[in-house]
Amino acid sequence: MTDTLNSYQRPAREHIDYAAAHLAIVAGLFVLFLSVLAGPVRADVAGSVCVENGGVISVDGRRAEGRCIDGTMVRLYGVLAPSLDRECRIAGGEAWRCGLASAAALLQAVKGRQIDCKGNSKDRDGRLMAICFIAGRSLNQFMVEMGWAGADRSVTSMFNEFEDQAQTTRRGLWGSDFRPGEDD
C-alpha cells in the first residue's frame, strides 16, 4: 500500500515541479520581453540633414510644407534650443527672432554635409536623443559652444562649460534675454 501511494504521489510532485518550472520560464521570458520593450533604444543613424529647429533635425529627411518629413527625427542630446518662432530681446529691448537664428546657425553648420548620430533613448515626442557628429566634431557641442543653444543640465553636464563660456562672452543667443528651457 505504501508503495502505491508513493508511486502515485511521485508523478503528482513531478507534475507540480514541471508546472512551476514552466511558469518560471514563462515569467522570465515575460520580464525579458518587458525589459526589451521598455529598455533603451539603440539607434545610430547617418546621412543628410533636414533642420527642424536649433535642436531638432531629421536624418535623411526632406523639407516639405515648411517641415522636415520622412527620415529619422533626432533631438540633439544635452541641448536646449529655442523654438523656431521664439523671439528674444536684446539689451535695448529690441526683439529679434532668436529661434530662427538658432536654426539658421545649425543649418549653416550641416548644409551639404553628412552627419553621424549616436543615440540610445527617445524623448517624450518619440525622437531619437543623440549626439551627432560632422567630420568627427560634435554638433551638439558646437551649438552650445557658439551660443546658439543652451546646455540641458537636467540630462548631462558635458556641455556646461561651453554654455558658461558662451554666456560670459555673450555669444549667439546669450547677447539677449534668452533662457534655455522656456519653450524648447
Arithmetic mean of pLDDT, 12-17? 52
Indicate the pLDDT class of residue 17, thresholds 50, 70 and 90.
low
CA 102 to chain centre: 18
Arithmetic mean of pLDDT, 70-82? 95
Give pLDDT, residue 129.
96
Give per-residue pLDDT as tens, 79-131: 999 999 999 999 778 899 999 999 999 999 999 999 999 998 999 999 999 99
Give per-residue pLDDT as tens, 136-152: 999 999 999 999 999 99
Query: Does pTM top 0.85 for this prediction?
Result: no
CA dist 32 → 26, 29, 35, 36, 121 (Å): 10, 5, 5, 6, 18
Give pLDDT, residue 39.
44
The strand pair at 150-151 and 72-76 is best described as: unpaired
| Percent of the chain whose pLDDT exceeds 90 | 65
Interacting residues of 130 by C-beta distance below 8 A, sequence separation 6+: 43, 44, 45, 74, 75, 76, 77, 117, 118, 119
Give pLDDT, residue 7.
43
Residue 184 pLDDT greater than 70, yes or no: no
**128 within 8 A of 122, measured Cβ to Cβ:** yes
Indicate the pLDDT class of residue 66, thresholds 50, 70 and 90.
confident
Which cell numbers in the block locate residue 3?
508503495
Residue of higher predicted confidence among 96 and 14: 96
CA 46 to chain centre: 15
The strand pair at 56-59 and 49-53 is best described as: antiparallel
Residue 6 pLDDT greater than 90, yes or no: no
Report how far residue 135's alpha carbon sits from residue 138's, in angstroms, rounded to the nearest whole number: 9
